[in-house]
Structure 1
Amino acid sequence: MRNFDLSPLYRATVGFDQIADLMDRVLTNDVSRESYPPYNIEKIADDGWRISVAVAGFTEDELSVEVRENALVISAKKADEEERTYLHRGIATRAFERRFHLADHVRVTGASHEHGMLHIDLVREVPEALKPRRIEIAKSKDVERKAIEA
């Protein structure tokens, strides 16, 4: 894998730390480590997404979904169970923690567990103060009249 030095980016920019950190995380991420559990991310609306994680073998009590510091953290730990003898064990129920970094103003609206899938719904809610707004342009006669009245 190639190594990129992002230090010139840090020296030449101010306020872009999140972008540089994201690039650093992506470039240094070990792909083989991130294969369990499998998941899908689907766009369900213009500002809405659903993350579906395959969690076969886990109950709702063994799963945890948390949002902390702009990150969605999904974790699972199998409760202690009696010792079994398997002839073939193809369903992995090992503990895991999967992180998804959330953009600004993206929040989790709900989570559901059905048929071995954990579904987490997300939506982007931009505050009114950050939304674009239209400014009316006054006609020159109105401006002159207001100036005279003042």
Structure 2
Amino acid sequence: MNRIDLTPLYRSSVGFDRFGSLLDAAFQTEKTSAGYPPYNIEVIEENNYAITIAVAGFKQAELEIQVENGVLTVRGKKESEENQTTFLHQGIASRSFERKFNLADHVEVVDADLSDGLLRVHLVKEIPEAMKPKKIAINEASPRVIAHDKQEKAA
């Protein structure tokens, strides 16, 4: 079993508490998913991404996409076929699946489409205006002159 002790990281940083659980999930996911169905993660352009999953044999009604707490879950559940076909060889997988993807902060699922046996999920990273870097203008310092009124001194 692979476990990484992140205690030193937690002592000197704030906000990385989710990092440990992401690493643990990554180690467990690789063992349990066994690579089915295969997928690609693409960078379309800056802040635009796509996840393409090979779902050959699945109809649109048999697929479900859900986003919850920063985790994108894609499920495929085959409907039971009424006719019992006898196969000499069955190499095309028709089993149900569940594939999970951890999304970074501010990554949103825009839409998804199914074409030619490929499910393509479009993602966009939208950084809020408050978090975007902004330039601060540097003003030239000018000497300040304080005016003294002789009447105020006399009073």
Code of the residue aligned with 1:39 in structure 2: it is Y
Code of the residue aligned with 2:67 in structure 1: it is V
Q: Given the superposition, is the C-alpha separation of residues 12 and 134 from structure 1 closer, same or farther in structure 2, using an over 3 Å criterion?
A: closer
Counterpart-to-counterpart distance in 2, 1:139 and 1:50: 47
Code of the residue aligned with 1:15 in structure 2: it is G
Counterpart-to-counterpart distance in 2, 1:101 and 1:6: 19
2:63 is the alignment partner of 1:75: no
The number of residue pairs the alignment matches comes to 145
2:69 is the alignment partner of 1:31: no
DSSP 3-state at the match of 2:15: coil
Q: Given the superposition, is the C-alpha separation of residues 30 and 100 from structure 1 closer, same or farther in structure 2, using an over 3 Å criterion?
A: closer
Q: Residues 8-36 of structure 1, C-alpha deviation per residue, up to 9 Å, x if partnerless?
A: 5445544310122222223x325342211
Counterpart-to-counterpart distance in 2, 1:104 and 1:59: 31
The answer for the alignment partner of 2:91 in structure 1 is 90
Counterpart-to-counterpart distance in 2, 1:25 and 1:6: 14
Report deviation, 1:52.
0.5
DSSP 3-state at the match of 2:81: coil
Code of the residue aligned with 1:133 in structure 2: it is K
Counterpart-to-counterpart distance in 2, 1:23 and 1:2: 10
Compute the TM-score of the two structures, normalised by the length of structure 1: 0.85
Q: How does 1:36-115 map to 2 (within 5 A)?
A: 36-82=36-82, 83-115=84-116
- 5+ unaligned residues in a row in structure 1: which ranges? none
Aligned-residue RMSD, C-alpha: 2.2
Q: Given the superposition, is the C-alpha separation of residues 104 and 77 from structure 1 closer, same or farther in structure 2, using an over 3 Å criterion?
A: same
Q: Given the superposition, is the C-alpha separation of residues 69 and 116 from structure 1 closer, same or farther in structure 2, using an over 3 Å criterion?
A: same
Code of the residue aligned with 1:57 in structure 2: it is G
Asked whether the equivalents of residues 3 and 24 of structure 2 are also in contact (C-alpha less than 8 Å), the reply is: no
Report deviation, 1:116.
0.5
Asked whether the equivalents of residues 71 and 102 of structure 2 are also in contact (C-alpha less than 8 Å), the reply is: yes
DSSP 3-state at the match of 2:135: coil
Report deviation, 1:74.
0.2
Report deviation, 1:2.
4.4
Q: How does 1:3-14 map to 2 (within 5 A)?
A: 3-10=3-10, 13-14=13-14
Between the two proteins, what is the percent identity of the paired residues? 45
Code of the residue aligned with 2:134 in structure 1: it is R
- 5+ unaligned residues in a row in structure 2: which ranges? 148-155
